Amino acid sequence: MKGIVTALAGIFLLLGIGGQVVAPVTAAPQEEAVAKTNLKVGDAAPDFSLLSDKWEQVKLSDYRGKKNVILAFYVLAFTGG
Amino acid sequence: MAKLEASGTVVLGISIDSPAANAAFAKQIGVTFPLLSDMNKEVLTSYQILKPYDVKGGKYQWAQRTTIVVDKQGKIQHVEQGDSAVDPNSAVSVCTGLHKPKA
């Protein structure tokens, strides 16, 4: 979403320099290199059990009935993001 | 984080790093939630978010940056991918929203 907004802002900026507004430009589909999951809202989250940084097994289903869980997948440690 | 704890939410970080790397990373950035090691890429595979990366000619498969909110029933409530997934605010608002009694 943010990407689209930024792209649109960029397009408007370019158009703005010319001082004219041309017919609405359909934003070209950006090359989105996203490994898109097919999981959707309402799907059951696949269960897993993984070792934590404290070498403990953490199982998603352990939180069932107790907590909401935010799964934050990141690329690599120490890479800022 | 306080808002999340109050809403009965835990955060789990997941990557292909080893527990040792994650322990050092956790210490460096001061996170208090668990960082999990998906060294076999089983979870990344089952969540379909393995992404190919090219690093100096080498090809790797690591996680696509993704935020998924799972509710207490084990159901997915929110999926966010790509750069916007770095910003946790929408996931947080989903969780604090889940906490509110439904009207």
Residue B83: band (very low, low, confident or very high) from pLDDT cuts 50, 70, 90: confident
B54 in a domain, yes or no? yes
**Chain A positions in Cβ-Cβ contact with residue B81 (cut-off 8 Å):** 34-37
Cβ distance of B72 and A74 shorter than 8 Å: no
Name the CA dihedral angle for A39, A40, A41, A43, rounded to a multiple of 10 degrees.
Answer: -50
Average pLDDT, chain A: 77
Answer yes or no: is B101 within a domain: no
Supply the pLDDT for residue A74: 93
CA distances from A71 to B9, B21, B92 (A): 11, 19, 11
- On the question of pLDDT at A1 being above 90, the answer is no
Q: Out of A56, A61, A75, whose CB is closest to B63?
A: A75
**Structure tokens belonging to residue B100:** 């509110």
State the pLDDT confidence band at A39, using cuts at 50, 70 and 90. Answer: very high
Identify the closest residue of chain B to A65 by CA–CA distance.
Answer: B72
**Alpha-carbon separation of residue B30 from A4, A9, B24 (angstroms):** 32, 36, 10
* pLDDT over 50 (residue B90): yes
Q: Distance (Å) from the C-alpha of residue A33 to the closest C-alpha of chain B?
A: 8
Does this model's pTM top 0.80?
Answer: no
**Which CATH number is B90's domain given?**
3.40.30.10
- Does B6 fall in a domain? yes
Burial classification of residue B36, based on how many CB atoms lie within 10 Å of its CB (0-12 exposed, 13-18 middle, 19 or more buried):
buried
Contact A78 B25 (CB under 8 A): yes
Q: Is the pLDDT of residue B60 over 70?
A: yes
The answer, for A79 touching chain B at a CB cutoff of 8 Å, is: no
Lowest mean pLDDT, pick from A31-35, B49-53, B66-70, B76-80: A31-35
Kindly report which listed range (A1-5, A52-56, B9-13) carries the lowest average pLDDT score.
Answer: A1-5
- B48 domain-assigned: yes
CA distance A80 to chain B (A): 9
CB-based contact B12 A71, cutoff 8 Å: yes
Q: Is residue B102 part of a domain?
A: no
Q: Which domain holds residue B67?
A: 2-95
Nearest chain A residue to B43 by CA distance is A48
- Determine the residue of chain A that is closest to B63 in CA distance: A75
Query: For residue B100, is it within any domain?
Result: no
What length does chain B have?
103
Please report, in angstroms and rounded to a whole number, the separation of the first and last CA atoms in chain A.
Answer: 18
pLDDT tens figures, B19-47: 999 999 999 999 999 999 999 999 999 99
d(CA A55, CA A62): 16
Q: How many domains, chain B?
A: 1
Does residue B52 belong to any structural domain of this protein? Answer: yes
Chain B nearest-CA distance from A4, in A, is: 11
Q: What is the pLDDT of residues A46-68, one digit of tens each?
A: 999 999 999 999 999 999 999 99
- Report helix, strand or coil for B6: helix
